Structure 1
Amino acid sequence: MSLARNTLVQATLTLGSRILGFARDMALAARFGQGPLMDVFATALMLPNLFRRLFAEGAFAQAFVPVYGGVREREGEEAATATASEALAFMAAVVVGFCIALQIAMPWIMPWLLSAYRDDDGIMRVAVIATQLAMPYLAFMTIASLLSGVLNTGGKFALTAGVPVLLNICTLVPLLAPLVWPEIDPTLTLLAVTVAVTVSGAAQAGLLWWGVRKLGIRLRLHLPRLTPAVKRALALAVPGALAGGAMQINSVVSQVLTGSDEGARSVLYNADRLYQLPLGLVGVAIGLALVPRLTRAFVSGDHEGGRRTLDDGLTLAMAFTLPAAMALLVIPFFIIDATVTRGAFTSEDAARTADALRQFAWGVPAFVLAKVLTPPFFAREDTRRPMIYAMSSVALNVTVGAGLFFILSARGQDGVLGLAAATSLAAWANVILLAGTLMRERAWRPSPAFVSRMARVIAASLGMGAVLFVAGLNYERLSALLLAKEAAVVAVCGVGALVYAVLVVLFRAASPAELKAALRREPGAAAPTGLD
C-alpha cells in the first residue's frame, strides 16, 4: 500500500475507536463529574494508559519493526519468528513480575499518587483496589505490542488499528449499567470499569495472536531466556518505546504533580482525551506506516527515497493536525461544554478543562511531529539518541511544570495551566532536537516544495480558525438557533472542515489529483488479505 493508504486504514479504524472512547468519557463525566471518584478513575488508569500509548499505540511497535524486519530480510522468516518468540517470552515475564510487584506495593504507593485524599480512608481504599484491578492490562499490552509489530512488518495494519476499540466497548458496558439499574453504587460502577480494562487487554492480545497465526507465523511462549537476539531487540525496542512515548511520559508526570489538588487530575484526564485525538488518528497512524517503508529504504540504500517518504509523512501529518490544533485552540469551551457538560459535569468544569486544553493545543503539532520524526532513527536502528532527547524533554517538563504549578497555585490561580503549558513546551523541545539532528546529518532536509506546501496549509488553517473564532463568539445564539448545543458544535465543526478543505484547494496546498495519486496502491504491492 502507499503511505497515504496505510495511514488512512490506521486513521479510519482508530477514529471508530476514538468515537466510542469519547462516548465512554461522556458517560464517565456525567457519572462522576470532576470529583473524587473521577480522580480515582484517572489514577487507576494512569499506568495502564501509559503502557497502552507506549505499546499498543505504536512507540514500542515502531522500534520493534526494524529489529524484526531486519532479521527477516537477512536471515529469513524462521529466524525472525524465533527472535519474536524469544522477545515475547522475556518481556511478558518481566512485565508480569512488574505488575505483581506494583499490585502488592500499591497501598503504600497510592498516598503519594493521590495525596489530596490521603486522609480519606474510603477514597484511598477504592483507589488502591481499582488500580490493582486495572494493572494486568500492562502485561496484555506488552504481548499485544509485539504482535502488532509482527503484523505491521507483514503490511497488515487494519487489525492493529482496530483492536483498541475493544477497550472502549468493554469499559462502556458497565458505565451504561445505571440506565437499567439506577440505584447501583457509583463505587461499584467504578470498580467494574477497571475490571473491564483488564478484560479488554486480554481480548486485544488474543485477537492479535489470532491475526499473527492467520499470517502463517507460529510464535511460541516458553520459559524466558536472555538470548543474544533478545538482548539486541530489547536494546533497541525499550529505548525506542521511551523515545516514542515522551509525550505520554510527560502526561503521567503532570498527573503525578496534580495529586495534591482535588479535581486537577480529572481536568487533565478530560483535556488529555481531546488533545490526544489528533495524535492517535494522525501521528500514530503515519508513524506506524512510515517505519516499514523507511526500513526498506535504508536497508536497500535508497536514501533519497527515504527523504521523500519523510517529506510525504510530514506533509500528510500537518495537513490533518494543524486544523485540529486550531479548533482546540480557538473554541475549546464550545467543544467541551457542548459535548461533555451533563449530569455531574458542570459548565464550570468545562471552563476549567477548556483553559487547560488551550495550553495543550499549541503543542499538538509538536506531539504529532515527534511521532513522524522518530521513525527515521528507528529505521536505522538508532533508538539511543531519540531516547536521550525524549528524556531531556521529560526533565524540562518536570522542571518547568512543577515550577509553574506551584507558583500559580500559590497565587490562587489554576496550577494545571502551568503543567499543560510545560507539556507543550517540552514537546517542541523534543521536535527541535529530532529535526535538528536529521538535518545536520543530511538524513532529511526540508525541500522548497515541502516548505511552500506547509506555508499554504498554515494559511488554510488560519482561515478556518477565523471562522471558528466568530462561531465561538456566538455559541449561545447558534445553540438556540439549532435547538441544541450538540447540534451547534457538529454544525460548526462541519463548516470549519468544509472551509479548510476549500482553502486547501484554493491555496493549492493539495489538488484532488494529488490526493487521488497518494491513495493509489503502489506498483507491486501485495493485494489485501482478509486481515485488511
Structure 2
Amino acid sequence: MSLLKKFATVASGTLASRVLGFTREMLMAAALGTGPIADAFYAAFQFPNTFRRLFGEGAFNAAFVPLFSKEIEANGTDGAKRFSEEVFGVLFTVLLALTILMELAMPFLVSTIIAPGFSDDVEKFDLTVSLAIIMFPYLMCMSLTAMMSGMLNSLRRYFAAAVAPVFLNVVLISVLVYAWHNGHDGRQVGYGLAWGVMVAGVIQLAIVWGAVRHAGMAIGFRLPKLTPNVKRLLVLALPAAVTGGITQINQLIGTAIASGRDGAVSSLNLADRFYQLPLGVIGIAVAIVLLPELARALKSGNDIEAANLQNRSVEFSLFFTLPSAAALLVISEPIIRVLYERGAFTADSTAVVSSVLAIFGLGLPAFVLIKAFTPGYFAREDTRTPMYFAAISVAINITTALILFPSMGAPGIATASVIAGWINVALLLGFLIKRGHWSRDAGLMRRAPRLILASVLMAAALWAGGLWLEPWLAPLTPLHTQLAALALLVAGGGIVYFGTVFAIGGADVAMLKRNVRRGGAKPAAPIDPE
C-alpha cells in the first residue's frame, strides 16, 4: 500500500468525524450559543480531552508504536502480544487510579486549573464541576482506545482506528436531535451531552478492541508489573505525552485564561472545530502513518527511504494546509455566519468567533508541521528533545496569552497559540537539520514557494468572490441560498488553487503518485526532485 493510500485511509475516517463534528457544533451553537451552559460544557470537556491526548494518543503513538514495532521485528506476534499485555496491565491500573483521584478532586481542579474564572459565578461553576465528573471517565476509555489504535497502526490496519472517533459525533448529534424533539432546556442539553460523551467513549473502545482481536492480537489482563519493556515505555512516554499533546496543553491553558470573560471559552471551541478539520485530516493522518513507517525505515538502515518519507510528508502537509490557512484567513466571517448564526448564536458571536478562526488559520500550517517533524525524533526514540521544545512553546503561549487577553479577549489567546506553534516548528526543524536528520530536498525547496504563491492567488480570488456573493451571504438571506453561495465560493477557491498549483509546477499528479509510493522490501531509490 502506498503512503498516499495510507494517508487517505486515516484521513477518510478523520474527515467523516470532522464533517459530523461540524453538524454537531451547528446544533450546539443553535441550542446553546456562546452562553454560560456552552462555556461550562466546553470547559468541562476540555479537561478529559486534554488528558486523553497527553496520556493516550500523544504517549502511545509516539512511544508505544516504535517499541511495539520493534517487538514484532524481534520476537514476532507472540512477543508483541506479551509486551502489549504488560503495558495494558500498567495502563489500566494507572488510569483507574487517576480517574478516581480526579473525580474526588474535581471542585478543586475546576477552581484552580480548568476554569478559575468561573469561581465568581456559583451556578456556572457548579455546572462545570458536575459535567466534568460525568465526562472524566471518558479519559480511561479513550486512552485504552489509543493503545489499541497504536497496535492496529503498527500492524498496518488503519481503518478501525480512523473510523472509531466518528461515533463520538454520531452519539452527540443523536442527543441534540432528541433534546430538540422533546423541547429540552439548555441545562438538560448540557447534561445529555455529558452522558453522551461517556457512551461514545465506551463504543469507541469496543470498536478498536474488536479490531485488535480480529487481527489475532487478543489481549489478556496481567497484573501490573514494571518489566524492562514497560520501564522503557514509561521513560519514552512521559516526554512524548507532553510533546504529542502540546496543542491540547495550549488549549487547556487558553480555556483557563478565557474563563475570565463570558463567552470566550465557547468562542475558542467553536472556532477550534473549523481549523481542526484540516489539522485532523492532514496532520493526524501524517503523524499516525509516518511514525511507524519511519521507525521501520530507520531500523532497517534505509536512510534514503527515511529522508524521502520525511520530505514527502512535509510536502503533503503544505500542499493542503497552505490553501486551508489562506481560506480561513479570508472567508472566516461568512463561514461562521452561514453555519452558526441562528438560534442562540447572534451576530456578535459571529464577529468574535470569526476573528478567532482567522487567527487560528495563520497557525494551521505550524500545527500540522509539528506533527510532521516530531516523528523524526520519536522514531529514533528521542522523546526528550521535543518535550523541551514543547515546554518552551507552553511558556511562550502562557506569557503571550496573559499579555494579550485583557485587551483582545479570545482573539488574543488564539494569537498566543499561533506564535507558540511557529516557534515550536522552528525549533523542531532547526535541530533535525543540526543533527543531520533532515536532508535538503531539491524538489521540496522548489515546490514550496509555488504552493505559497498558489495559496496567495487563491486568497485574492476568495476575497473578490466574497464581495461578489455578499448579497447571497447576508444574515437575513434564506439558509439554502447562503449554503449554495458559500459552497460556490469554496469550490471556486479550490479550482483557482489546484489549477494554479498544477500549472506553475507546485505539484503534478505523477509526482504525487511517485513520491508517496513505498518501494517494498528493497531500499528506496533516490527520487527525482522534479
Letter in structure 1 aligned against 2:411: L
2:247 pairs with 1:247: yes
| 1:466 aligns with one of 439, 460, 465 | 460
Q: How does 1:58-77 map to 2 (within 5 A)?
A: 60-77=60-77
Query: Which shifted more, 253-262 or 367-376?
Result: 253-262
| 2:435 aligns with one of 412, 423, 441 | 441
* 3-state secondary structure, aligned to 1:260: coil
2:369 equivalent in structure 1: 369
Q: Deviations over 1:384-406 (max 9, x none)?
A: 11111111111111111112213
Deviation at 1:119, TM superposition (A): 3.8
Aligned in 2, Cα 1:450/1:322: closer, same or farther, shift over 3 Å? same
Write the distance in 1 (CA, Å) between the matches of 2:291 and 2:11. Answer: 16
Letter in structure 2 aligned against 1:435: L
Does the CA contact (< 8 Å) of 2:286 and 2:372 recur in 1?
A: yes
Q: How does 1:400-479 map to 2 (within 5 A)?
A: 400-406=400-406, 408=407, 414-479=408-473
Gaps of 5+ in 2: 523-530
Write the distance in 2 (CA, Å) between the matches of 1:323 and 1:141. Answer: 32
Q: CA RMSD in A?
A: 1.9
2:487 pairs with 1:490: yes
1:411 equivalent in structure 2: none
Aligned in 2, Cα 1:461/1:55: closer, same or farther, shift over 3 Å? farther
Query: Which shifted more, 9-18 or 57-66?
Result: 57-66
Deviation at 1:249, TM superposition (A): 0.8
Write the distance in 1 (CA, Å) between the matches of 2:465 and 2:334. Answer: 9
Write the distance in 2 (CA, Å) between the matches of 1:74 and 1:55. Answer: 26
Letter in structure 2 aligned against 1:442: G
Deviation at 1:359, TM superposition (A): 1.6
Aligned in 2, Cα 1:519/1:310: closer, same or farther, shift over 3 Å? closer
Write the distance in 2 (CA, Å) between the matches of 1:318 and 1:179. Answer: 41
Write the distance in 2 (CA, Å) between the matches of 1:63 and 1:470. Answer: 47
Deviation at 1:523, TM superposition (A): 4.4
1:208 equivalent in structure 2: 208
Letter in structure 2 aligned against 1:5: K
Letter in structure 2 aligned against 1:440: K
Letter in structure 2 aligned against 1:143: L
1:86 equivalent in structure 2: 86
1:360 equivalent in structure 2: 360
Does the CA contact (< 8 Å) of 2:115 and 2:255 recur in 1?
A: no
Aligned in 2, Cα 1:355/1:452: closer, same or farther, shift over 3 Å? same
Does the CA contact (< 8 Å) of 1:325 and 1:365 recur in 2?
A: yes
1:285 equivalent in structure 2: 285
Write the distance in 1 (CA, Å) between the matches of 2:405 and 2:124. Answer: 24
Does the CA contact (< 8 Å) of 2:291 and 2:375 recur in 1?
A: yes
Letter in structure 2 aligned against 1:416: A
Write the distance in 2 (CA, Å) between the matches of 1:343 and 1:178. Answer: 15
1:501 equivalent in structure 2: 498
1:528 equivalent in structure 2: none
Query: Which shifted more, 238-247 or 363-372?
Result: 238-247
* 3-state secondary structure, aligned to 1:176: helix
Write the distance in 2 (CA, Å) between the matches of 1:235 and 1:369. Answer: 25
Q: Deviations over 1:228-269 (max 9, x none)?
A: 211111211232121122111111111111111111101111
1:141 equivalent in structure 2: 142
Letter in structure 1 aligned against 2:450: R
2:151 equivalent in structure 1: 150
Write the distance in 2 (CA, Å) between the matches of 1:222 and 1:59. Answer: 21
How many matched pairs? 518
Write the distance in 1 (CA, Å) between the matches of 2:462 and 2:420. Answer: 28
2:191 equivalent in structure 1: 191
Give TM-score, length-normalised by structure 2: 0.94
Does the CA contact (< 8 Å) of 1:366 and 1:428 recur in 2?
A: yes
2:510 equivalent in structure 1: 513
Deviation at 1:55, TM superposition (A): 6.1
Query: Which shifted more, 75-84 or 162-171?
Result: 75-84
Does the CA contact (< 8 Å) of 1:2 and 1:518 recur in 2?
A: no
1:529 equivalent in structure 2: none
Does the CA contact (< 8 Å) of 1:55 and 1:241 recur in 2?
A: yes
Aligned in 2, Cα 1:63/1:253: closer, same or farther, shift over 3 Å? same
Does the CA contact (< 8 Å) of 1:39 and 1:263 recur in 2?
A: yes
Write the distance in 2 (CA, Å) between the matches of 1:226 and 1:199. Answer: 32
Letter in structure 2 aligned against 1:503: T
Gaps of 5+ in 1: 409-413, 526-532
Aligned in 2, Cα 1:471/1:63: closer, same or farther, shift over 3 Å? farther
2:236 equivalent in structure 1: 236
2:152 pairs with 1:163: no
2:114 pairs with 1:126: no
Write the distance in 2 (CA, Å) between the matches of 1:133 and 1:327. Answer: 37
Does the CA contact (< 8 Å) of 1:57 and 1:284 recur in 2?
A: no
2:526 equivalent in structure 1: none
Does the CA contact (< 8 Å) of 2:44 and 2:132 recur in 1?
A: yes
Query: Which shifted more, 470-479 or 217-226?
Result: 470-479
Does the CA contact (< 8 Å) of 2:117 and 2:256 recur in 1?
A: no
Q: Deviations over 1:434-480 (max 9, x none)?
A: 10011011111231211111111111111111111112334532437
2:295 pairs with 1:301: no
Deviation at 1:117, TM superposition (A): 3.7
Q: Deviations over 1:183-237 (max 9, x none)?
A: x232112111111111111111111111111111121223222222111112112
Write the distance in 1 (CA, Å) between the matches of 2:21 and 2:322. Answer: 22
Write the distance in 2 (CA, Å) between the matches of 1:359 and 1:215. Answer: 43
Give TM-score, length-normalised by structure 1: 0.94
Does the CA contact (< 8 Å) of 1:334 and 1:475 recur in 2?
A: no
2:51 equivalent in structure 1: 51
Does the CA contact (< 8 Å) of 2:359 and 2:414 recur in 1?
A: yes
Does the CA contact (< 8 Å) of 2:32 and 2:345 recur in 1?
A: yes
Deviation at 1:118, TM superposition (A): 2.5
Deviation at 1:301, TM superposition (A): 1.2
Deviation at 1:522, TM superposition (A): 5.1
Deviation at 1:121, TM superposition (A): 3.0
Letter in structure 2 aligned against 1:455: P
Write the distance in 2 (CA, Å) between the matches of 1:492 and 1:324. Answer: 13
